[in-house]
Every structure is written in C-alpha cells, then in structure tokens.
Amino acid sequence: MKYRLNDLAEVGSSKRIYAKEYKSSGIPFYRGKEIIAKSEGRKIDNSLFISKDRYNTLLKKCGVPKENDILISAVGTIGKVYHVAKSDIPFYFKDGNLIRIYNYNYSLIDPYYLYYLLKSYYGQNAIRKIEIGSTQKAITINELSSIVLDIPSLQKQQEISNKLKKIDALISVNSELNDNLLELVDTLFDNIIKCSILYKATLNDIGTIAGGGTPSKKVNVYWNGKIPWLTPKDLSKNHSIFTSKGTRFITEYGLKESSARLFPTGTVLFSSRAPIGYISIAKNNISTSQGFKSIIPNKGYSPEFIYELLKKETPLIIREANGSTFKEISGTRLKAHIVNIPSKAKAKYFDNSALAIFKLISKNENENKILKNLKKELLNKIF
C-alpha cells in the first residue's frame, strides 16, 4: 500500500543551538558533516558539545534522538540516511542541516525497513524529487513529510530488514575488529619509538616522495581506461588502510600525456591538500591526482612503518603547510620535514609484530567491501 511518510512516523528537526552554547566537552553535538560521515561508516573527530543540563532541558521540552530514529542530511549533500544506534546515545544535532524521523506507527512500519528503503535507489529517487535550490540543494520537513512510499505488509518488511541487518552486523564486527587492531598497531609503534635510540632524518630519507597529476578532462581518450586514478575525495568517502582504486580510471595514453605517474604496490598515499592527511597504502599499481604527495618505500622502511609515522607527523606537517583558501604542503617542504626515527634494524622489530596485523586488517577490509556490494545489490533488487 502507499503511505505518506508522515503517516508512518513523525518528521521534524531540532531546537536551535547557538554558538555561545557550544562546550569543549559534554554531550556530543553533530552537524550535517558528522552525520554524513557516520552514515558512510567513517569515524569522526567531533569537537562540539553541549552541556548535560542543556541536553536534559531539550529532553523535557522537545525530545532528543532515540534508538531507531533516522536522520537525513537536508542541506548541501542531501539524502544521506543514518540510523541511530543505542551506542550513539546521547547526542544532539543541528537544526536545518538534518531532518529527524521518529515516533513510528509500528502497526504500519518497521523502522529498519524504512531506513533501508530510504537508502535504496527507490528512496533516494523519492528524496531527489523534492530538492529545492539552485546554488545549494536542500529538502524541507514539509516536503519530506509528504513523499509517498509503497510499503508492503509488516511481515514482509521484517523479513527484508532482518536479512539486511545480518549483513550490517557482519560489517560492524569487521569494522570494530579493525579499530581494535589499529589501536594495537599504534601501541606497537609507540613502544618502538620509546624504546629505541632515535635519529634525525627527513621524510625524503625514508622513501621517494612524488606527486601525482590529472590528465585533461577535455580529452576523452585519456579516461575510462584500466589504470586506477585516485583523488583525496575518494579517500574521504572510503577511509580504508589499503586502497586499490578510486571512482575513475585513466588510459595508458592519459598517463603518458600528463604529469600523472604510476605508483607501485605498497606506496603510501598521502593527501597534500583539500585536506592534508588522508593516508592509505596502495594495494596495487595506482595513479593519483596532484592532491597527493606519496612516498614510495624504497629506502629500507616498510609501507606499514611509514603509514604509522605519517599518522603521527600529520599535525606537524599541517603546521608547515601554506595557503589562504586551503592549506597545501608542497613536495619540497614534505621532503624536508624532519622526523625522529629508529634505525632500519629497529624498525624491523615493528614489522615483525605489525605486518601480520596489517594483513588481517586488509582481509577484514576486503570482506567488508564484498558485504557492502552485496548489500547495495540487495537494496536495488528488493526496493
């Protein structure tokens, strides 16, 4: 049967929080960009909070997000759908940027089914139809409330959502395991640094640093080839430790006729602008845009050691960057960046313990990619 969204649940936003109410700690306060990141399975580094007293007041006056609520990004990048888990609570969110779906009519709708429906091509198409704005896209509460959705029986909804929840559970287990494994790797790296005699060196001493390039987008024969080509935006959407491709590919001719170059497997890919500090290890030969200054590990230090080192050094590298509109670190400055590192022999101690862990991380990432593709196929098939 067909129902309007506001027949299935309440649709609203939040009470405005003013800048003077922001705190340095307390209850997390999320804007659109944090919820978009969470909807894509990315970790966030939240810096905004409100006081517990303010949260409790909001709880009494207008309600706060609860388990099973759905949040949808409503300005700029619209239509990103996030399901609120029990582990997310408590938090509050920015009015206008996000729309909240809550207080379900449980006799008509299973919340998980609605979440998956809104994420599917069918749901996203329904959302796109109510976009407003030419310069900046947006959706309104009234328009979202009025979208009409084709809803099967409650039993059918639950059968579908249960299948998809099992896939999400497997993805979550792998992601949580990888988070714990990365913490272990960080500890191993810190211990090697603490227990070793350190020597001053430059990043240029640990590997060959080189930039990427972009073939002209006006020349069709440069594009849609077989060579994976990566941009910082690709890594913003996929924070994997190991990367095999971006969203675009170039041809051999495009590689030859541009400043792009082919980096070998094991290259540590480091975004040098917009923003600085996305880091990943190439799983295969790959090319990048000029938004990267990558390190080819050919001077005795492993890709995994360099990956950990760059993680620690990124805040200092950002401080050395130039630019008014956006920060960028040049190849020259990156090569000259001073680091304190152990000898190659000591770094091998890190490798002896860490490489097996990185191998397991890579395995889990591969499994999650397969599961996400399966989920995407099911969403498009079911809805």
The string of pLDDT tens digits covering residues 35-45 is 888 888 877 87
Residue 287 CA to residue 289 CA, distance in Å, equals 7
In this prediction the pTM is 0.87
**Which residue stretches of the chain have pLDDT < 70?**
none
* Residue 70, token pair as written in the block: 């759905």
pLDDT score for 108: 96
pLDDT at 73 (0 to 100): 93
- 358 φ, ψ to 5°? -60, -35
Give the count of beta carbons closer than 10 Å to the beta carbon of residue 290: 17
With H, G, I as helix, E, B as strand and everything else as coil, classify residue 246: coil
Question: What count of Cα atoms within 13 Å lies in the side-chain half-sphere of residue 33?
Answer: 6
**pLDDT of amino acid 37:** 85
pLDDT for 99:
95
pLDDT of residue 61: 79
| CA separation for the pair 228, 246 (Å, rounded) | 6
Alpha-carbon gap, residue 198 to 302, rounded angstroms: 17
Is the peptide bond preceding residue 152 cis, with omega within 30 degrees of 0? no
Give the ranges where 262-302 is alpha helix by DSSP (H). Answer: none
pLDDT of residue 155: 96
pLDDT at 186: 97
